[in-house]
Amino acid sequence: MARYIDLTWPIEEHWRYPGFKREIISSFDDGKLWQITKFTLGSHWFSHMDFPLHSGKGLEDSNCYPLEHYNGPASVVDIRTGSSLKNHAFTAEELKKAIGDRKLEKIVLLRSDWDKEVSHMTREFWLDAPYLADDAIDYLATLELNMIAFDFPQDYAIRPIFDHPVSPEEQKTHVALLRKGTLLVEYVWNFDQIGQDTCEIICMPLRLEHIDGGPVRFVAKV
């Protein structure tokens, strides 16, 4: 019997997303006939998918990619080092070693287990995170993947975003990968629960027409 593993963060109050609101607009307690909740949610908050339009004007949006592009067989690439990953830069050599002689599927999950070392509810999750070195990003770009999902903030330049605006060019995965059609799924977790090096990914972003990205339910079937 298949198992379904939810890799999606809960959508809840979080210091990084102060604009998030969840409010009851129709309640049985107020004598209404239905319970109805209203949400305010940004397209790149919590677990979400990036489309190329996120990184440049006129680039491809959500309507340019069929479901087949980002659903199906996936390879789990274990890039753990056996020690703390605080501020660790994953290199191309480390990725190549983790992949070995495997033939990768078009969808790849990069497993660091950073979410097990540091809670995503803390600032340290971003400020002390491991990240991909430039040569690692260049290597991934040669693999011609449809989508990569990360359980860690993959760009070093995520750090100054809390102090000042950061351009896509400063976050290299959004240029070298996203702009060529390798979609990115960010802020997901629990890759350790998959328990094997392949799975089937079920990835369902909200159906927002011509959007730059969107909240996603991200599930592994094993």
pLDDT band at 165 (very low <50, low <70, confident <90, very high): confident
CATH number at residue 136: 3.50.30.50
Can you give the pLDDT at residue 162? 76
Can you give the pLDDT at residue 214? 97
Structure tokens of 100?
């070995």
Q: What is the CA radius of gyration of the chain?
A: 18
Q: Is residue 25 part of a domain?
A: no
Q: What's the structural domain count of the chain?
A: 1
Q: Is residue 114 part of a domain?
A: yes
Longest pairwise C-alpha distance within the chain: 63
Answer yes or no: are the C-beta atoms of 132 and 89 closer than 8 Å.
yes
Mean local confidence (pLDDT), 193-215? 97
Q: Is residue 165 part of a domain?
A: yes
Instruction: At 36, give phi and psi (nearest 5°).
Output: -135, 135
pTM for this entry: 0.96
Can you give the pLDDT at residue 131? 98
Q: Which ranges in the chain belong to alpha helices (H)?
A: 92-99, 114-117, 124-127, 134-142
Q: Is residue 34 part of a domain?
A: no
pLDDT band at 117 (very low <50, low <70, confident <90, very high): very high
Query: Quick one: which of 114, 107, 83 has its CA closest to 197?
Result: 107
Q: Is residue 32 part of a domain?
A: no
Q: Is residue 23 part of a domain?
A: no
Q: Is residue 38 part of a domain?
A: no
Least confidently predicted of 54-58, 75-79, 104-108, 156-160 = 156-160
The answer, yes or no, to whether residue 161 has pLDDT greater than 80, is: no
Mean local confidence (pLDDT), 78-86? 97
Tell me which residue range forms the domain holding 178: 4-8+43-221
Q: Is residue 22 part of a domain?
A: no
The answer, yes or no, to whether residue 115 has pLDDT greater than 80, is: yes
pLDDT band at 63 (very low <50, low <70, confident <90, very high): very high
Return the percentage of the chain with pLDDT > 90, whole number. Answer: 95
pLDDT in tens, 30-53: 999 999 999 999 999 999 999 999
**Average pLDDT for the chain:** 96
